[in-house]
Structure 1
Amino acid sequence: MLANLKPQAADKILALMGQFKADDRAGKIDLGVGVYKDASGLTPVMRAVKSAEQLLWQAETTKTYVALAGDPAFGAAMAGLILGPDYPGARLAAAATVGGTGAIRQALELIRLANPEATVWLSDPTWPNHPSIISYLGMKQATYRYFDAETRGVAFAAMIEDLGRVAPGDVVLLHGCCHNPTGANLTLPEWAEVAAVLERTGAIPLIDLAYQGFGDGLEADAAGTRLIAEALPEVLIAASCSKNFGIYRERTGVLLALAPDTGVRDLTQGTLAFLNRQNYSFPPDHGARLVTMILGDPALRAEWESELEEVRQTMLRLREDLARELRDRSGSDRFGFLAQHRGMFSRLGATPEQVERLRAEHGIYMVSDSRLNIAGLNARTVPVLAQAILDCGI
C-alpha cells in the first residue's frame, strides 16, 4: 500500500530552513521562516508566559481531557481580546484548535459542511498554506486582486471591483492585519467599504488573524475585524496565539463563528465540537490555559502587553532602519514602503534570480517571491542586507 504513495511537493519555507541550516557561512542571515527573533537570534519565552507556567505548575491537579471544543474560558478570553469586552456572546460559537493553521482548517471544514459549493476567495498573493489546504479539501477557490507591485501598497480599487463579483454564499478570506506575505494593510475606511461590499453580495468573511499586536497595537490590529463583526450577521475568525504570545510549539489557536441568532449559534457550536472530534478529538490545552490565565489576570496581562509592545516597536524600528539605510546608500526612496508596511513581512520586489543571488553571494535567505521576515534582522545585519540588496541590482 505505502508504495503507492506519490511524492509531495516540499514546502518552500521548510526547504529554505533546511538550506539555511546546511549553510556553513558564519554571516548567513535567515529572513525566511516566519518567527520573531530578538537581537541575539533567539525566539524567547515571554516573561508573562513563564510566570503563568509557574503558576499553572503549582495549581494544576489533573491532565485529563477538557472538552471537545476546548475550555470555554479560552474561547471567551480570545473573543474579548479580538472583538472587545462587549462581544455578542449570544451569537458566538468557539473552538480551540491546533494552532492558527488548525483554525483555518476547521473553518474550511465548517464551510464545506454548510455549503459544499462555496468558492473561497483569496487575496493575490496570500499565505501559501491557504490555497494548499483548500485544494487538499477539494474546495473551489478564486483570487481577488490585492497587492500593487508598483506602489507596494494595496490595490484597493481592483480589490473592491473583484469582491463585487463574489456570489452569495461564497467565502472571502481576509487578513485581519499584517498581511502575509506583503505587509500592506487596509485602512479602517477601506475595511468599511469591504464590509459594505460583503453585505451587498451576501458573501461570508473568513478573517485570518495571526498577528494581532504585531502591527499598530492590539486594539488597532483588531479594528478591521471588529468592524466586519459588527456589520455582518455571519463571520468566521481564525486566530493564532503563536506570534503574539510567542508559544509557537504549543500550537494554540481558536476558531470563532458569529451566527445570526442563538439557535444557529448552538448548531454551529455543536458542529465545531464534531469537527474537532473527527480531526484530533480534544485540542491541546497547555497553551490555551496559559493564554486564558494571562488575559484574565491584570498583572500578567499588563506584563504581556508591555512585552508585546516591545516586540512591535522593535519591528517598527527595524523597518525604519532598513528603509533609511537603503535610502542613504541608494540615493532613492524607492524602498520607503518598508517603513509603511506592518508586521513581520514585506515583499521586497526582487525577482527569483535576484533572491537566489542574495543567497548564493551573500548568505541571505528569503522566500523566492522576495518575502522577507523583518523580525529576522538586527542592528548588525540591517546594513549588511541593505548593501546586498543594492549589490544584487534590486
Structure 2
Amino acid sequence: MSHFASVARVPGDPILSLMQAYLLDTHPARLDLGVGVYKDAQGLTPIPRAVKLAEQRLVDSELSKTYIGGHGDALFAERLSQLVLGADSPLLAERRAGATQTPGGTGALRLAADFIRHCLPGRGIWLSDPTWPIHETLFAEAGLVVGHYPYVDSNNRLDVEAMIGAFTHLPKGDVVLLHACCHNPTGFDLTQQDFERVLEVVKARELLPLIDFAYQGFGDGLEQDAWAVRLCAAELPELLITSSCSKNFGLYRERTGALIVCAADAEKLVDIRSQLAFIARNLWSTPPAHGAAVVASILGDDELKCLWQEELEDMRLRVASLRRGLVEALAPHGLSQRFAHIAEQRGMFSYTGLSPLQVLRLREAFSIYLVGSGRANVAGLDANRLEYLAAAIAQVCN
C-alpha cells in the first residue's frame, strides 16, 4: 500500500518557473523582468546600508534568541504602525490601532484571511481584476468566497467608473481589497479624487477595506504613499491594513510584515487582537525576530532612519527614471505614445499592454523574460539596456 499514491503533481508557480528558465538561459543579453524584486544598476538586489549597520549593532547587542510572542516584536509593531498611520495618528493615541507581526506581507494577508473566515463568517472578499496572483489562491485556500471588481479595461487603461459601478452592487458588509499605492501587477494607481469617490461607496455599502500596503516609498515618496491608508483610517471606524518590509527595507528573505487593525474603540481592539494571536498560534506560533528587530532599530534611530530614507528615495527615483527612459527609447520606433502609460504608472510593476504571444516572442527571440500577462518588473531594468528592450518590443509589435 502506498499512502501517497494518489498525490498529484501541481504546476509550479509561473513567476518562479520564469526565474528558473532565465537562470538556465545562456544568451548574453538576457533580461529578467519577471520576478518582483528591486535590482540596482549591476543587476543585484542590494542590502541597504542602513540595514547592514542595524544588523551589526544587533549582533553586538542581542542577548537571546527566545520567542518574541504571538504579536511579535512590540517595538517593531509600534514603530511600523507610526510609519504607516503617521506618528501623530489619533488612532494610535487612542489605542484604536495595533499591529501583529507576520512572516512578510503574504503572512499578513493570510492572517487577515483567516481572521475574516473565523470572525466575520459569510463575508466574501473582492479583488481587483487583475491583481497579484497570490491574492487569488491565498484567500481561496483560506476558505473565503472570492469575487472580482473591474480595474483595468481591455485597452490597458485604469477604469475607475467601472470599479465604482461594481462597488455599488457589492453585498453589504463584504471585504474589498484595495492597493494603497504601486498597484501590483498593473502600476495603475487611483488619484486622490478617485479614491475619495471609492471611499464614499465603501461607506454607503458598509464595506470593510483590506488595504494591501506592500510598496510604501516606491510610488511618490514615503509619506506621500500613505495618504490613502490614512484617509481610510480617518474616515472609517474599522480597517485592515497589511504592511510589508520586503521592498522598502530590502528584507525579502527575512519575511517581515504586519497586519494592522483599526477598530472603533480600544476595548474592541483588545478583542480582535486576542483572536489574531489565537489564529497566528495555529499558523506559525511566533514570527521570525531578525527582520523585525532590524526595522525597529532603523526606525528608532535618527541617523539610521535618515540613511534608510535616502536609500529608499534613491531606489524610487531610479525606477521612475527607468520608466521615463523606456518610453523615450521607444520614441524612435514610433511607440512612445502607445506605451506612454509606462511613465505614468507607479512602483515596480507595469502592465505593458503586450499580449501573451508578444511576451513569448520576446522570450524566444530576445531572451527577455516577462510574465505572460505582459506585466514587467521595471525595477529589473538596466539603464544601459533600454535601447535593446525598446528595439525588441518594436520587433514583436510590428
Would you say the 8 A contact 1:93–1:268 is kept in 2?
no
- The list of structure 1 runs, each at least 4 consecutive aligned residues, that deviate by more than 2 angstroms after superposition, is 1-4
Question: In 2, Cα distance between the equivalents of 1:231 and 1:167?
Answer: 20
Question: In 1, Cα distance between the equivalents of 2:71 and 2:236?
Answer: 24
Q: Which amino acid aligns with 1:193?
A: R
Question: In 2, Cα distance between the equivalents of 1:155 and 1:37?
Answer: 30
Question: In 2, Cα distance between the equivalents of 1:351 and 1:292?
Answer: 43
Q: 1:333 maps to which residue?
A: 337
1:180 aligns with 2:184: yes
Please, which of 103, 109, 113 is the counterpart of residue 108 of structure 2? 103
Q: 1:213 maps to which residue?
A: 217
Q: Which amino acid aligns with 2:102?
A: T
Query: Mind listing any 5+ residue stretches in structure 1 that lack a counterpart?
Result: none
Q: 2:146 maps to which residue?
A: 141
> Match of 2:248, SS?
coil
Question: In 2, Cα distance between the equivalents of 1:332 and 1:209?
Answer: 30
- Deviation string 1:208-249 (CA, Å, 9 cap, x unpaired) is 111000110011111111111111111000110000000100
Q: How does 1:170-319 map to 2 (within 5 A)?
A: 170-319=174-323
Would you say the 8 A contact 2:127–2:147 is kept in 1?
yes
Shift of residue 198, structure 1, vs aligned partner:
0.8
Please, which of 379, 382, 387 is the counterpart of residue 378 of structure 1? 382
Question: In 1, Cα distance between the equivalents of 2:214 and 2:259?
Answer: 12
> Match of 2:278, SS?
helix
TM-score using structure 1 length:
0.98
Q: Which amino acid aligns with 1:126?
A: T
> Match of 1:8, SS?
coil
Q: How does 1:15-30 map to 2 (within 5 A)?
A: 15-30=17-32
- Deviation string 1:94-114 (CA, Å, 9 cap, x unpaired) is 210000000000000011112
> Match of 1:3, SS?
coil
Q: 1:393 maps to which residue?
A: 397
Q: Which amino acid aligns with 1:217?
A: G
Deviates more, 1:344-353 or 1:315-324: 344-353
Q: Which amino acid aligns with 1:54?
A: Q
Would you say the 8 A contact 1:192–1:228 is kept in 2?
no
Q: 1:357 maps to which residue?
A: 361
Would you say the 8 A contact 1:93–1:266 is kept in 2?
no
Would you say the 8 A contact 1:149–1:349 is kept in 2?
no
Shift of residue 15, structure 1, vs aligned partner:
0.8
Q: 1:323 maps to which residue?
A: 327
TM-score using structure 2 length:
0.97
Deviates more, 1:79-88 or 1:100-109: 79-88
Shift of residue 331, structure 1, vs aligned partner:
5.7
1:342 aligns with 2:343: no
Q: Which amino acid aligns with 1:375?
A: A
Question: In 2, Cα distance between the equivalents of 1:55 and 1:79?
Answer: 23
Shift of residue 48, structure 1, vs aligned partner:
0.3
Please, which of 75, 78, 85 is the counterpart of residue 76 of structure 1? 78
Q: Which amino acid aligns with 1:238?
A: T
Q: Which amino acid aligns with 1:84?
A: G
1:125 aligns with 2:130: yes
Question: In 2, Cα distance between the equivalents of 1:9 and 1:164?
Answer: 37
Question: In 1, Cα distance between the equivalents of 2:16 and 2:291?
Answer: 24
Closer, same or farther: CA 244–331 of 1 in aligned 2, 3 Å: closer
Would you say the 8 A contact 1:211–1:343 is kept in 2?
yes
Would you say the 8 A contact 1:177–1:221 is kept in 2?
yes
Q: 1:92 maps to which residue?
A: 97
Shift of residue 156, structure 1, vs aligned partner:
0.5
Indicate the RMSD between aligned Cα atoms, in angstroms: 1.1
Question: In 2, Cα distance between the equivalents of 1:69 and 1:6?
Answer: 36
Q: How does 1:47-86 map to 2 (within 5 A)?
A: 47-86=49-88
Q: 1:14 maps to which residue?
A: 16
Would you say the 8 A contact 2:102–2:256 is kept in 1?
yes
> Match of 1:178, SS?
coil
Shift of residue 356, structure 1, vs aligned partner:
0.4
Please, which of 1, 4, 21 is the counterpart of residue 2 of structure 1? 4
Q: 2:45 maps to which residue?
A: 43
Shift of residue 378, structure 1, vs aligned partner:
1.1
- Deviation string 1:312-334 (CA, Å, 9 cap, x unpaired) is 00000000000111123226511
Would you say the 8 A contact 1:120–1:141 is kept in 2?
yes
Question: In 1, Cα distance between the equivalents of 2:178 and 2:11?
Answer: 26
